[in-house]
Amino acid sequence: MQRFDNGPETALDWYRNSGSAALATVVETWGSAPRRVGAQLVIGGDGRIEGSVSGGCVEGAVIVEALEAIEEGTSRLLEYGVSDEDAFAVGLACGGTIRILVEPVGPVLSEVMLAELVAMRAARIPIAYEVNLKSGRRALRRTRHAGRMRQDRSGFEEDGKTFVGVHNPPLRLIVVGAVHIAQALVPMARIAGYDPMIIDPREAFAASERFPGEMILTDWPDEAVAEIGLDTRTALVLLTHDPKLDDPALEAALRADVFYIGALGSTRTHAKRVARMQEAGFTEEQIACIHGPVGLDIGAADPSEIAVAILAEMTAVLRGKA
C-alpha cells in the first residue's frame, strides 16, 4: 500500500493511552531540506518517537523542545539550519533551513479536533488543518484551500501567519483489464505513489503471476468498484476494449467524483463509447470527463510507452494542468 504518514493517528493514540504527546510539523523550508513541508514527528511524553521532520539531522533537538512544550502546555516554533554535512548524510547534495511547529496534544491541539482529523482521514475525506501562529486559532477546513489540496501542498498563506496542513487520502488507481498495458502501468503507478487495484473477471488475465503482490479482483467491474469505493483521490483506467467490461465501471465512475477517467481505444472506438454513454443518460459535461483515447499524445508505440503516457496524463489532471 502507498505510504500514508500516520502522525495524527499515532499522536491521538499516545495521548489517549499515556496522557501526553506532541505533534511536530515541518511548516517551512529553504534550500535543500531533508523532509518536505507537512512532514511530521510524533513525540510521546515518555520520549518515544515516530516519524521524521529532518531525516535524523535535528530530531534530537526537536525531541528536547517537544518534551519541554508538553510540560509547559505551549506550542513552539523552531528553526534549524541543516549543514551540508548533515544533508549529505541523508542523501541531499546541500543543506538548508527548516521551521518546525511543535503542538502538544490537549492544551494546544485539542483532543476533539485531533480526533475529528483522524476520523476524516479514515473516511478518505480530504481535509486541511489550519493554524494561525499569531492568534493560535485552529480549524479544520473542507471547502477552503482547493488549490493546495489539488497540489498536495502544505504551507503558509500569503499573510505569513496562517499555516495550512494538507491531509489528502492516499491516491488510488483502479485498472479494469489485466492486460499487457496494465502490467507496465501498475508498477509505474506504485512508484508514483498510487495504490493500484486490478479488476478483471477473466481468470486467464487476472492471474496473480502476471501481477505479483498486487490486489486483483475477479468480480464484475461494477460490483468491484462498488466494493472498493470511488472518490476524489481515485483514478480509473479502462483497458479491456470490451464494452461489457469497461462500461459498468465507466458508468459508476461518471456518477462518482473520481479525479481521472481514461479509456483505451481509437478515436472511432471512443466515439462509440460516447454514444453509449449518451444513450445511458449521461450529460455532455459528464462524458467530457472521459479521457479517450487514453494518455497524452507522446507517440507511444508499445505497452510501456502507453503506460508512461497514461500516468503523465493522470498527473496533469490531478495537478490541474491543461
- The pLDDT of residue 84 is 62
Among the residue ranges 92-96, 142-146, 267-271, the one predicted with the least confidence is 92-96
- Number of other residues whose CB lies within 10 A of the CB of residue 1: 8
Percentage of residues in the chain having pLDDT higher than 90:
83
CB 96 within 8 A of CB 40: no
114-150: per-residue pLDDT in tens?
Answer: 999 999 999 999 999 999 999 999 999 998 898 899 8
Place of cell 518546525: 100
The pLDDT confidence band at residue 16, using thresholds 50, 70 and 90, is: very high
Q: What is the DSSP letter of 20?
A: -
What per-residue confidence (pLDDT) applies to 271?
96
Assessment of whether the complete model's pTM goes beyond 0.85? no
Tell me the H-state helices in the chain: 7-18, 59-72, 84-89, 111-122, 146-151, 180-191, 221-228, 243-255, 267-279, 284-287, 303-318
C-alpha to C-alpha distances, 52 to 41, 100, 191, 254, 273, nearest whole angstrom: 5, 11, 21, 39, 48
What per-residue confidence (pLDDT) applies to 91? 52
Q: Using CA atoms, how far apart are residues 250 and 174, in angstroms rounded to an integer? A: 11
Look up cell 503523465; give the residue: 312
The third-level CATH classification (topology) of the domain covering 171-318 is: Rossmann fold (3.40.50)
Q: Which three cell numbers stand for residue 289?
A: 470527463
Q: How many angstroms separate the Cα of 50 from the Cα of each of 10, 14, 36, 56, 200?
A: 8, 11, 16, 12, 39
Instruction: Report the range of poorest mean pLDDT among 87-96, 163-172, 175-184, 235-244.
Output: 87-96
In DSSP terms, 162 is beta-bridged to 132
Sign of CA dihedral 199, 203, 206, 207: positive
Return d(Cα 151, Cα 153) in angstroms, integer.
5
| Under 8 Å between Cβ of 61 and 52 | no
| Residue keyed to cell 513541508 | 37
d(CA 151, CA 136): 26
List the grid coordinates of 84: 551540508
Q: What does the alpha-carbon distance between residue 158 and residue 154 come to, in Å, rounded to a whole number?
A: 13
Domain locations in the chain? 7-167, 171-318
Q: How far apart are CA 11 and CA 278, in angstroms?
A: 49
